Amino acid sequence: MTGRTIVITSGKGGVGKTTATANLGTALAMRGQKVVVIDADIGLRNLDVIMGLENRIVYDLVNVIEGKCKMHQAMIRDKHQLELFLIPAAQTRDKDSIEPEQLRELCEKLEQEFDYVLIDCPAGIEGGFKNAIGAAKEAILVTTPEVSAIRDADRVIGLLEASELHRPKLIINRINTNLVKHGDMMDKDDIVELLSVEILGLVPADEHTITAANRGVPVVHDKKAPSGSAFLRIAARVDGDEVPFMSLEPKTSIIDRMKGLVGLSGRAYSHA
Amino acid sequence: MRDFIRWLVSQLAVAEQHEKTGITAKQRLQLVLIQDRLDLPTDEMESMKQEIWEVVSRYLRVADDFLEFEIRRLDELVVLVSNIQVNDASELVPATG
């Protein structure tokens, strides 16, 4: 078996990389793939709490790389998906604890056993970022539709290209459909035009993401969550399926629906 | 109207079973932050556990693993809780009833 190593990265911090990694990993495992997710954010571990596995950590990424434990000892099996594993970041070490080649070697070993190796990349463009992108052969870029996030995403696209990671694919996270509808938020086409990258998926802003993180259960498990179904579709695209883009209809209130009934509402809006 | 009633009922049902995930988040973070602030790598926690087991097993016949071994909050204190089963000591347990 030769799996695919994909880095999930962004320019700006706080745009949802860790959430995207947890949900993409979970969704791919739900499709029957063998998946390992690696938290490469040394010193600022977070993928474990998003996946609800924080109480099961004994060994971490730095322990494996330093040979303190075997690879399998640092792999924590997910609570819900039997073929999903997490290698957590070290929390008490700094970002220089590992070298890019060491992480690449580890990923090459993991590719022999897994269909997908997903790396949650630290924010910023310093050492930790270089470690994470150096180990991957494909890149997924996460951004929100805000000016600062898109500017930083453009910078990272340049750095990815320089590292031979061509054609990164874009996830636009936290799209506020009401703002887009009123012309107060850039939409998918605006962002594609600015960054000239391929879109992998559109994720609506969704409160379910917050409650899911509170519980430590990725939102793809919640069938009612719009962001969850967005991530399921993204996973299907990563896995090679042709999935049309979801139409992100803004949620309408009762009043709007009543207006609709009597013909007072504006035109129906379709995002993609 | 039927839609409205259905909606109202569903909202009431949701309110009833509403889990306060904010509380869940706080409780989980209380444990995580204790661990972080201790600045004790998890593998060292594991070696401490092993050493404590070795010391105890010099004096008592005990099970191979702890029933629990964790650092947690006890009101204002942070405590290390460890529990280990002592074997062959059934005669020490007073009969109940």
Enumerate the H helices of A94-244 as residue ranges: 100-111, 127-134, 147-162, 177-181, 188-195, 207-215, 226-238
Instruction: Say which CATH architecture domain A4-247 belongs to.
Output: 3-Layer(aba) Sandwich (3.40)
Interval A155-168 mean pLDDT:
92
Q: How far is CA A2 from CA A5, A111, A115, A172, in A?
A: 9, 5, 7, 29
> In 3D, which of A117, A107, A99, A102 has the Cα closest to residue A33?
A117
Nearest residue on chain A to B41, alpha-carbon basis: A92
Q: Does A63 sit within 8 Å of B43, measured CB to CB?
A: yes
Query: How do the domains of chain A map onto residue ranges?
Result: 4-247
pLDDT band at B91 (very low <50, low <70, confident <90, very high): low
Picking from B28, B40, B46, the nearest residue to A216 by CB comes out as B28
| pLDDT (0 to 100) of residue A265 | 46
Distance, CA of A234 to CA of A16 (rounded, Å)? 14
The pTM score is: 0.82
Which tens digit of pLDDT belongs to each residue from A173-219? 999 999 999 999 999 999 999 999 999 999 999 999 999 999 999 99
Tell me the backbone φ, ψ of residue A252, rounded to 5 degrees. Answer: -100, 145
Nearest residue on chain A to B20, alpha-carbon basis: A211
Q: Does B46 sit within 8 Å of A215, measured CB to CB?
A: no
Asked if pLDDT for residue A271 goes beyond 50, the answer is: no
ipTM of the complex: 0.75
> In 3D, which of B19, B6, B7 has the Cα closest to residue A222?
B19
Q: Does B7 sit within 8 Å of A59, measured CB to CB?
A: no
> How far off is chain B from A134, nearest CA to CA, in Å?
26
Picking from A49, A60, A214, the nearest residue to B22 by CB comes out as A214
Nearest residue on chain A to B7, alpha-carbon basis: A254
Asked if pLDDT for residue A269 goes beyond 50, the answer is: no
Picking from A59, A210, A216, the nearest residue to B42 by CB comes out as A59
Q: Does A49 sit within 8 Å of B42, measured CB to CB?
A: no
Which tens digit of pLDDT belongs to each residue from A55-99? 999 999 999 999 999 999 999 999 999 999 999 999 888 777 889
C-beta of residue A107 within 8 angstroms of C-beta of residue A69 = no
For testing contact with chain A, the best of B8, B28, B38, B72 (most A CBs within 10 A): B28
Distance, CA of A6 to CA of A167 (rounded, Å)? 12
- C-alpha gyration radius of chain B: 23
